[in-house]
Amino acid sequence: MPTLVMKFGGTSVANLDRIARAAKRVALEVAKGYDVIVIVSAMSGKTNELVGWVNETSPLYDAREYDAVVSSGENVTAGLMALRLQEMDIPARSWQGWQVPLITNDAHGSARIVEIPSDNINKKFAEGMKVAVVAGFQGISPEGRITTLGRGGSDTTAVAFAAAFDAERCDIYTDVDGVYTTDPRISPKARKLEKISFEEMLELASLGAKVLQTRSVELAMRFNVKLRVLSSFDEPSDDAGTLVCAEEQIMESKAVAGVAYSRDEAKMTLVTIEDKPGIASKIFGTLAEAGVNVDMIVQNVSEQNYQGHAGGVTDMTFSCPIDQKMRAEKALNDAKEKGVLAFDRLEVETDVAKVSVVGIGMRSHAGVAAKMFKTLSDENINIKVIATSEIKISVLIDRKYMELAVQALHDAFELDKA
Ligand code: ADP
Ligand code: ASP
Ligand code: MG
């Protein structure tokens, strides 16, 4: 039997009616002759609630216990989905990550998948089971502890299963009917894409477009998984949604394919550090050891220099995910106390956002950065930090201008036009 992976996100399993609706979709594929692996998320809002409980109990929590708590939302929906399918006379059972077992490393909170042995599930398929319902987002570490794959991780579970079971396709059912030129919730002019390349999707995802978890796109690209994003609310159709595929399969190559944003940024500046070899290495070594994912970095001329003080000092600014802000502060302040690092003070801004334009066409089109900066300047938006790569340009700006920036850039690059 050919295998199909179907993943249902939080809004698609938000209550019993939605689960029943999703189960009907699964039934349609079973009727076509597929063995189906269903990956479910927790009911929408559930994981946030669980994360909130952990933070309230222990702000600098033990990540192993964080995983024990936040993985639980998926257990509920997996069991309910299996029950619903059984009620429809479809042979189905649920699997928690450890039962499969989905083996990960021990990086709790953002674990990486090491292996998904297919024997257990295949044995059941051979015995007549039609649907394996797997709790997304979770796995088991080599030490036998429950792990989670990072927020949005059920997408990665789905793609990993598609690769491990050599599935014909991996369908990601969500609350939008595909991948858009930007988040349709921010820009009413956002246009649905029929296809998007792995590379562009990877950048958009890593820059904040949470429609797919970044690692799921990475995996799909590596194992050439046929990946489709579609809505669980629309009527079923064969050409629904957006296909994420290899670049060669796409004809159009505009300079910019999409605009992404991320609200979840914090900007930190170490004011007055020594300007000499080895300092950056100490700062970012300290942060890496504390598990902080540093994103953008700029080293600026210190106010001290401007004021005519003796040279030899500078300021270092970087951004990191807002939920790692406390870890970063603690690591830097501890290093200062221990005499490992010297700086005057640490300035932290949390009212910032990152806005990025992405496109493989940038490799061949000049002037994208100039157009982006002009567009922002026309809107009087100040740029705090800039980062670029071959196919993206990102800026850090005041959060209050985020929507405006996304819409202005969407207009400037004419993304509403095919
Ligand atoms: P799920 O719970 O199904 O995993 P998510 O909330 O994680 O759903 O992802 C879907 C959301 O991603 C959409 O509701 C939309 O607001 C957001 N999104 C951000 N950028 C894009 C984009 N470029 N295209 C489509 N959706 C996007
Ligand atoms: N429930 C988890 C989360 O909200 C995983 C997922 O839905 O993909 O992050
Ligand atoms: Mg998601």
Which pLDDT belongs to residue 304? Answer: 62
- Read off the pLDDT of residues 331-371 as tens digits, 9 standing for 90 and up: 999 999 999 999 999 999 999 999 999 999 898 888 999 99
Indicate the pLDDT class of residue 247, thresholds 50, 70 and 90. Answer: confident
Rounded to whole angstroms, the Cα distance separating 224 from 241 reads 18
- Read off the pLDDT of residues 18-47 as tens digits, 9 standing for 90 and up: 999 999 999 999 999 999 999 999 999 999
The answer to whether 287 and 230 have CB atoms below 8 angstroms apart is no
Which pLDDT belongs to residue 89? Answer: 98
Which pLDDT belongs to residue 307? Answer: 60
Which pLDDT belongs to residue 306? Answer: 57
Ligand 2: which of 41, 46, 138 to mutate, most ligand atoms within 8 Å of CB? 41
Rounded to whole angstroms, the Cα distance separating 201 from 192 reads 13
108 Cα to the center of ligand 2, angstroms? 15
- Read off the pLDDT of residues 111-158 as tens digits, 9 standing for 90 and up: 999 999 999 999 999 999 999 999 999 999 999 999 999 999 999 999
Which pLDDT belongs to residue 148? Answer: 98
Three-class DSSP labels, the chain: CCEEEEEECHHHHCCHHHHHHHHHHHHHHHHCCCEEEEEECCCCCHHHHHHHHHHHHCCCCCHHHHHHHHCHHHHHHHHHHHHHHHHCCCCEEEECHHHCCCEECCCCCCCCEEECCCHHHHHHHHCCCCEEEEECCEEECCCCCEEECCCCCHHHHHHHHHHHCCCCEEEEEECCCCCECCCCCCCCCCCECCEEEHHHHHHHHHCCCCCCCHHHHHHHHHHCCCEEEEECCCCCCCCCCEEEECHHHCCCCCCCCEEEEEEEEEEEEEEEEECCCCHHHHHHHHHHHCCCCCCCEEEEECHHHHCCCCCCEEEEEEEEEHHHHHHHHHHHHHHHHCCCCCCCEEEEEEEEEEEEEECHHHHCCCCHHHHHHHHHHHCCCCCCEEEEECCEEEEEEEHHHHHHHHHHHHHHCCCCCC
Q: Which atom of ligand 1 is nearest to the CA of 152?
A: 7
Residue of 280, 277, 293 lying closest to 214 (CA atoms): 293
Beta bridge partners of 259: 357
Q: Which atom of ligand 2 is nearest to the CA of 151?
A: 9
Residue of 10, 23, 81 lying closest to 50 (CA atoms): 10
CATH architecture group of domain 260-412: 2-Layer Sandwich (3.30)
Q: Which atom of ligand 1 is nearest to the CA of 181?
A: 23
- Which strand (E) or helix (H) includes residue 266? strand 258-274
Ligand nearest to the CA of 151: 2
211 Cα to the center of ligand 3, angstroms? 6
Please say whether the structural domain 3-175 has been given the CATH code 3.30.413.10: no
Ligand 2: which of 47, 76, 147, 216 to mutate, most ligand atoms within 8 Å of CB? 47
The strand ranges marked E within 53-166 are 92-95, 103-104, 113-115, 131-135, 138-140, 146-148
User: What is the largest distance, in Å, between two alpha-carbon atoms of the chain?
Assistant: 80
Q: Which atom of ligand 2 is nearest to the CA of 213?
A: 8
410 Cα to the center of ligand 1, angstroms? 17
129 Cα to the center of ligand 1, angstroms? 32
Q: Which atom of ligand 1 is nearest to the CA of 186?
A: 16
Query: When comparing pLDDT for 120 and 1, which is higher?
Result: 120
Ligand 1: which of 25, 155, 174 to mutate, most ligand atoms within 8 Å of CB? 174
150 Cα to the center of ligand 2, angstroms? 8
Which pLDDT belongs to residue 302? Answer: 64
Ligand nearest to the CA of 208: 1
Ligand nearest to the CA of 154: 2
pLDDT higher than 80, residue 305: no
Ligand nearest to the CA of 173: 1
75 Cα to the center of ligand 2, angstroms? 12
Residue of 418, 410, 296, 412 lying closest to 354 (CA atoms): 296
Name the segment(s) of the chain with CATH classification 3.30.2130.10: 260-412
- Read off the pLDDT of residues 199-210 as tens digits, 9 standing for 90 and up: 999 999 999 999
Neighbours of 342 (CB within 10 A): 14
Which pLDDT belongs to residue 331? Answer: 97
Ligand nearest to the CA of 136: 2
Name the segment(s) of the chain with CATH classification 3.40.1160.10: 3-175
204 Cα to the center of ligand 1, angstroms? 11
String of DSSP letters for 236-261: P-TT-SEEEE-GGG-----S--EEEE
Ligand 2 pocket (Cβ < 6 Å) reads 9-10, 41-42, 47, 73, 136-137, 151-155
Nearest residue by C-alpha to atom 9 in ligand 1: 211
- Which strand (E) or helix (H) includes residue 410? helix 402-412
